[in-house]
Structure 1
Amino acid sequence: MGKKWQIRKVNEGYLKRLSRSLSMPVSIARVLMNRGVFTLQEARDFLNPHLSFLQKLQELPNLKEAVLLLDKVIRERGKILIFGDYDADGLTAAAILARFLRLFSSEVEIYIPSRFREGYGLNREAVESILKREPNLVVTVDCGIRDLPGIAALRNKGILVLITDHHLPDFDLWPQELCVVSTWDRDSREMISPLSGVGIALALAQAYGEYRGTSVIPVEEYIDLACIGTVSDVVPLLEENRVIVRYGLEKLNRNPCCGLRALCEVSGLTGRTIGTQEIGFILAPRINAAGRVEDPQPALALLLSDEYEEAIKLASYLDVLNSRRKKEEEKVLESVFQDEKNEAYLQDEVVVISGPEWNQGVLGIVASRLSEQLDRPVIALTEIDGVAMGSGRSIAGFNLSRALECSSSLLIRYGGHEMAAGLRLPADRVGELRDFLNDNFAEEVEKARSRRGLVVDALVGLREVNEETLFWLEKLEPFGEKNPPPLFAVLDASLIRS
């Protein structure tokens, strides 16, 4: 295949101790160490995740203050508006929080903006729409952490604001008095948890439930929704996320909520075992499709539905929208390769492509597909009325969000994390952005690419490919980001047939 490959190196002393202490094959112990699991206790926790581990969710900064703020508004019969992103992470987060808070108040509404009308986050259009609804408290889910002008506009009108978001904040501009529940520590400026937006929403619901002493336990009742959002957002399936997905998959396969049960039926998954692959490639794309080609409301309605007949209709509609999404995606890709300039830009280390009136909703997928194909970071932009907007996807080892932060003087707005970002800039500055990124980061991308190859977890003999190894492999699931399926190598073997 011509692909460089290497075996991950581990401390042999730790390796033998781990293997011996847990009576596991050395190859499995190697896999654990390659996933950052070194001590005996870490290994036990990784192999036997339990719902009780989610107690760690309560350590998120400002969670207690957020609970008290929620409780104050609820007891005063104030109106709460949940404002969320239009992707599967934001939609599941909004659904969890709304479902739970409606047990305590009839004054809970959800507002999910349209990608095509208002756009992402607490921008001017979204703020104007919020003000018309006259809430007492706005709770953001999976967005808002960088939208300081929008937050200020709401607070100036006397509206309380609670931000829950996992994206990278602007620490220098973060108001000290603002209540923010985040995966980032304000003082150290370090990420302290791998949670996605829905994970934070689940933590807030759980904390409020414990405060009020309710019989409904969010980490049990809504974990199937949290699982969908976590997998769809491609966050590391480690620590709390591993527990959320392990138990979320159990609930999905046993007794999912009404909307997800309908979506599974329409998607042809009834009777099949649902794993992370089924979420990532079948369920989540249908939830995302609504916001990508039209309006996110049908997807939200599905996640909130308790009527199966209604849920089936909504799920069927999402299936239709997903087919439309695929066609729009192919149209953009076809346009890229038919345009000589864009085709030339595909040779850059940081690929920036743009086109007139491409469907903005599919640009993240287009960037992702091209990034995987080219093994380079890709930014795909649509140009409408003098503004270029779109999404970027990166490769392992290159922090796209940091690169955009360095380019901020060229941008109207941006946000995201290491592997994915959204951005908006004047259309006549797209060329400047392309030049800046390649002038300043081409070498870094090239180094990241050169380090990438086929990395093998362990060398094994054919005798080790047995039922015992299979037993341990199943205990390593669920697989996903930062916990990929193990890759083993067998030397001096010939493939007779496949």
Structure 2
Amino acid sequence: MGKDSPRGDPHHGAGEERTARIIHEIAEGSGVPHLIARILVARGVRTPDEAHVFLRPRLADLSDPFLLPDMDRGVTRLIEAVARGERICIWGDYDADGISSLALMSNFLTRLEVVPVIHIPTREEGYGLHVDKVEDLAKEGVSLIVSLDCGSSNGAEIAHARSLGMDTIVIDHHEMGSEVPPAVAVINPKRQDSRFPTRDLAACGVTFFFLLGLRRVMHGKGLIPAHINLKRELDLVTVGTVGDMVPLTGDNRILVRHGMEVMNTKPRAWLKSMLDSRVISKGLVNEFALGFIIIPRINAAGRVASPHPALDFLVARETGSALNLLAHLQKLNSLRQQREKKIHEEIVTSLSREGFSGRRTIVVFDEKWHAGVLGIVAQKLTEQFERPAIVITRVNGVWKGSGRGGEGMDLFEAIRSTSSLLLKYGGHKYACGISLKEENLALFAEAFEKAVEGSITPRRRTVHVDTAAGFDELTAEVMERLEDLGPFGIGNPRPNLSFEVAGISVAPKGYTKVTDGDNRIWDGFYATKGALQREGGARIIASPVIKMRMGERFIHLNIKEVE
């Protein structure tokens, strides 16, 4: 394993004197500890003003929503529909991003005293718009469909809706080519003609900007009966943005930063139910709580049952009803975990018995497996066996699968080379979805193996280091200011610091004790195979975080590497 040279660290590379001067200016000009200044410089900050913007992002700094394509057309059409009392359908997706987008739109329309028709396809129905349901909506008198987190690739379905007298507003973030669906508006930052600065918004982010634009126009025309506080909705934007794993930079970082603040200071009924039932500790709504507690429960509904309880949970007005819905989501999440574990163990047992016979890929299929957990199982197999994995089951007579590729290969390109055997496929470099006929299962497995041969480039795992640090620098102020560098995630990871230690002891399950130069003991965790004991000095790369035990806060070291 290797490590990156810490860009901006005054102890490395040329320009040490200039870098040291910049660090000093930021520390003095922004009033931050020297360690925080070093991390800021490592992340490209060069002046006290830039540091202030990074540490204190403002909602006023959000991009203008009308830089999104078709924003004016979409806003105008929805205002017309509300004024005329038209029947509106909001059509979403079953994952956390799609559900939070629906919750945002539903909350806003409720404030306008509009009760929309809500449609969320199940995983069995499949993603996106469907002709049969579009026809049902026409029979129900719907004249406007607002598609959230979908629609960019549904040109035929949108054209069919138009032939039935229905308009469509697409609010989406998925990749699209030069062909734009025949909707009234296609609001997507990935359109080739988009001028919006943040290309990688989640769908809930696009929905939020649409509502910003809608509120601005309605307020200007005197159409809003009372002020609609969209800042209160940032908890939903945070759930969807973190859940969709988009880079936490630009507008995304501002939205999630303020969303976490709202969640920690003014939790709404859905989050209050989690705090009251101690699913989450008060004041500790962070990326861990989102990624490992909140989002899995929102996703669980759509993975193993109807996604509607997840939406009902996020829009709940009373804590009592939210608690009941949370209990239901907890059961669904447990069911998801059980199904995932059962399928994973079954596959691992089979692979252990039969071996790989020189194969570099994993392609497994069984009609008994539940479609909602295939992607998670594929990810686990890829991590465990360090090779691409595709897990397939039968849904309504068609075999559908999810795949993960991992580092060193382009999974999408490998899948595309087998497209003659597939009914449909989609995805990106690291993840994909496929559907195919039963007679092509074995042929696909062989074709995929051949497509992958020679395409995997082995890579040494690198651990980026922001800067070297001393344990004496981990003061209460520094730990508090470290959180100001967040929110953390893709594009803005938690800082990794390099420490010189006197000794380290790692138990078999990863629980670690680190001894510093003053013989102080620090708790940590290091994911390694077996126990590890090292005396007489070592160097570790770790990310320090605050944890709580028995009501007491303490510093915990998430150790990435030991040298």
Which category of TM-score, normalised to the shorter sequence, fits these structures?
0.7 to 0.9
Map of 2:467 onto structure 1: 458
Asked whether 1:127 is paired with 2:134, we answer yes
Alignment map for 1:71-470 (pairs within 5 Å): 71-116=79-124, 118-169=125-176, 171-175=177-181, 179-187=185-193, 192-213=198-219, 214=224, 215-266=226-277, 268-269=279-280, 271-340=282-351, 344=355, 351-384=362-395, 386-395=397-406, 400-401=411-412, 404=415, 407-444=418-455, 446-447=456-457, 449-467=458-476, 469-470=478-479
Contact 1:266 1:316 in 2 (8 A): no
Q: 1:300 to 1:413 in 2, by over 3 A?
A: same
SS at structure 2 position matched to 1:75:
helix
CA distance in 2, matches of 1:405, 1:235: 24
Kindly provide the amino acid, as one letter, of the partner of residue 367 in structure 2. Answer: P
Q: Deviations over 1:249-275 (max 9, x none)?
A: 111122222223224434522535211
* Alignment of 1:487 onto 2:496: yes
Compare CA radii of gyration and give the structure with the larger one: 2
Counterpart code for 1:21:
E
Question: Which of the numbers 21, 26, 30 marks the counterpart of 2:25?
Answer: 21
Per-residue deviation at 1:325?
0.9
**Secondary structure class of the residue paired with 1:185:** coil
Deviations 1:166-196 (A, max 9, x none): 1112x14334765211120324899942211
* CA–CA distance in structure 2, aligned partners of residues 479 and 194 of structure 1: 16
Q: Which amino acid aligns with 2:265?
A: R
Q: Judging changes above 3 Å, is the alpha-carbon distance between structure 1 residues 263 and 103 closer, same or farther for their aligned structure 2 residues?
A: same
CA separation in 2, counterparts of 1:173 and 1:152?
13
Closer, same or farther in 2 for the Cα pair 1:156/1:484, shift >3 Å? same
Runs of 5+ consecutive residues of structure 2 not aligned to the other structure: 506-512, 515-563
Contact 1:89-1:196 at 8 Å conserved across structures: yes
Kindly indicate whether the alpha-carbon contact (under 8 Å) linking 2:408 and 2:459 is maintained by their aligned counterparts in 1. Answer: no
Could you tell me whether the CA contact under 8 Å between 1:342 and 1:354 is conserved in 2? no
> Do 1:15 and 1:29's aligned partners in 2 also have CA atoms closer than 8 Å?
no
| CA distance in structure 1 between the aligned counterparts of 2:477 and 2:277, rounded to whole angstroms | 37
Counterpart of 1:136 in 2: which secondary structure? Answer: strand
2:3 to 2, 5, 16: 5
Kindly indicate which of the two structures has a greater share of residues assigned to helix. Answer: 1
Deviating 4+ runs (over 6 angstroms): 188-191
Q: Distance in 2 between matches of 1:428 and 1:27?
A: 60
Aligned partners of 1:307, 1:35: CA distance in 2, in Å? 42
* Residues in 1 aligned to 2:357 and 2:381: alpha-carbon distance in whole angstroms: 9
Deviation at 1:441, TM superposition (A): 4.8
Which deviates more from structure 2 when the two are superposed, residues 377-386 or residues 313-322? 377-386
User: Is the contact between residue 59 and residue 254 of structure 2 (CA under 8 Å) also seen in structure 1?
Assistant: yes
Is residue 51 of structure 2 the alignment partner of residue 61 of structure 1?
A: no
| Matched residue type, 1:20 | H
User: Relative to structure 1, is the Cα distance of residues 263 and 156 closer, same or farther in structure 2, using a 3 angstrom cutoff?
Assistant: farther
Question: AA paired with 1:22?
Answer: I
Alignment of structure 1 residues 31-50 onto 2, 5 Å: 31-32=39-40, 35=43, 42-50=50-58
**Rounded Cα–Cα distance in structure 2 between residues aligned with 1:246 and 1:77:** 37
Q: CA deviation at 1:209?
A: 0.8
Q: Deviations over 1:29-63 (max 9, x none)?
A: 56446556566655432221111122444422222
Partner of residue 473, structure 1: 482
Contact 2:92–2:150, Cα closer than 8 Å, also in 1: yes
Corresponding residue pairs, total = 492
How far 1:351 sits from its partner (Å)?
4.1
Q: Summarize deviations over 1:53-80 as a string: whole Å, max 9, x none.
A: 2244442222222111211222222111
Query: Partners in 1 of 2:115 and 2:412 — Cα distance?
Result: 37
Which structure carries more relative contact order (alpha carbon 8 Å, separation 6+)? 1
Q: Is the 8 A contact 1:264 1:283 kept in 2?
A: no
Q: What amino acid is aligned across from residue 7 of structure 1 in structure 2?
A: S
